[in-house]
Amino acid sequence: MAQKIVQTNSSKKTTPGACKHNHVFEVFLFVNPFGDTCLNCEEEVLKFVQQTDKKVYFRFITTSDMQTFNNYIKELDKPLSLADRNSLYLAHQEVCKGYKAALLQGKKVGREYLMKIQDYFGRQGNPYSHEKMLEIAQSNRLDTNMWLQDIHSDLTQESIVADAKLARQMQISANPTVVVFDNINYKYGFKLEENITLENLEYLTDQMMVSSEEAMDQEMSQKPILTCIKK
């Protein structure tokens, strides 16, 4: 079920009904850097963006805070020693930095890097290694020398801190979670923590458009009618 949250800061599917305003949607998908389910949701978001007639901006945001990490450990449902947990947590941190560094060379390149990481370590279930992460980066058209420097840069660290702040503001507690905003009514967003599919994103944005249009009509009806008169 979609939750309403308050914001503190080439065949296309045709949207039913006429709209008086130009709606632009922002889609934030919070994901686990190793998550198989998260990869499935990323693929659904990409299909939605490609097939909808709506104007959509989207971001994939990796999170590795302790709350989402612990939820990920529970989902694994297998015994892990303290050393294994620590190693896995550090691996999450390293991949998040690698993704941020890859984004500095282009959003599409960075996104493809993340999805290949998730496919190899998450979907295929291969054990994590720094060497394999480097190999994936090299196969993904990245300038690896620049990428390795950017991993440890202040810009990358600042970007990770900004994403963590955004996740707290949007009350993200599990991955994957998608948050959608409509520019016509940006005060409120809707958060979906399960069943993140092309069909559900299409339905959700349709409903948000209707809600925004109704809110705008109500706001306009409450404004006083001004008449221009000559002095």
Task: Dump pLDDT digits (tens) for 35-61.
Answer: 899 999 999 999 999 999 999 999 999
Of 25-34, 78-87, 179-188, 202-211, the range with the lowest mean pLDDT is 179-188
Does residue 99 lie in a domain region? yes
Locate 228 and state its tokens: 């221009």
> In the chain, pLDDT over 70 holds for what percent of residues?
82
Pairing of strands 188-192, 3-6: antiparallel
Cα–Cα nearest to 63, from 171, 172, 170: 172
- pLDDT above 70: residue 6: no
Q: How far apart are CA 2 and CA 182, in angstroms?
A: 14
At residue 116, what is the residue type? Answer: K
Does residue 113 lie in a domain region? yes
Cα–Cα nearest to 61, from 160, 185, 200: 160
At residue 102, what is the residue type? Answer: A
Does residue 227 lie in a domain region? no
Q: How far apart are CA 150 and CA 135, in angstroms?
A: 17
Instruction: Note the pLDDT tens digit of each residue in 105-118.
Output: 999 999 999 999 99
Enter the pTM of the model: 0.83
Q: pLDDT-based confidence at 161, cuts 50/70/90? A: very high
Residue found by looking up tokens 């480097």 in the block: 134
Does residue 230 lie in a domain region? no
The torsion defined by the Cα of 196, 198, 202 and 203, in degrees rounded to 10, comes to -50
Distance of CA 3 to the CA centre of its chain: 16
Return the CATH number at 43.
Answer: 3.40.30.10
User: Quick count: other Cβ atoms within 10 Å of Cβ 225?
Assistant: 4
Residue found by looking up tokens 């998260």 in the block: 38
pLDDT value of residue 209: 86
pLDDT value of residue 10: 41
Does residue 200 lie in a domain region? yes
Question: What's the structural domain count of the chain?
Answer: 1
- DSSP result, 58-104: EEEEE---HHHHHHHHHHH-S---HHHHHHHHHHHHHHHHHHHHHHT
Does residue 228 lie in a domain region? no
Does residue 171 lie in a domain region? yes
User: Quick count: other Cβ atoms within 10 Å of Cβ 73?
Assistant: 15
Residue 14 lies in domain: 3-222
What average pLDDT score do residues 162-186 get? 91
Does residue 231 lie in a domain region? no
Locate 177 and state its tokens: 């979670």
Please name every residue paired with 191 in a beta bridge, in sequence order, or none if there are none: 3, 179
Cα–Cα nearest to 210, from 21, 6, 2, 13: 21
pLDDT value of residue 168: 92
What average pLDDT score do residues 206-227 get? 62
Pairing of strands 188-192, 177-182: antiparallel
Residue 49 DSSP one-character state = H
User: Cα(first)–Cα(last) distance of the chain, in Å?
Assistant: 57
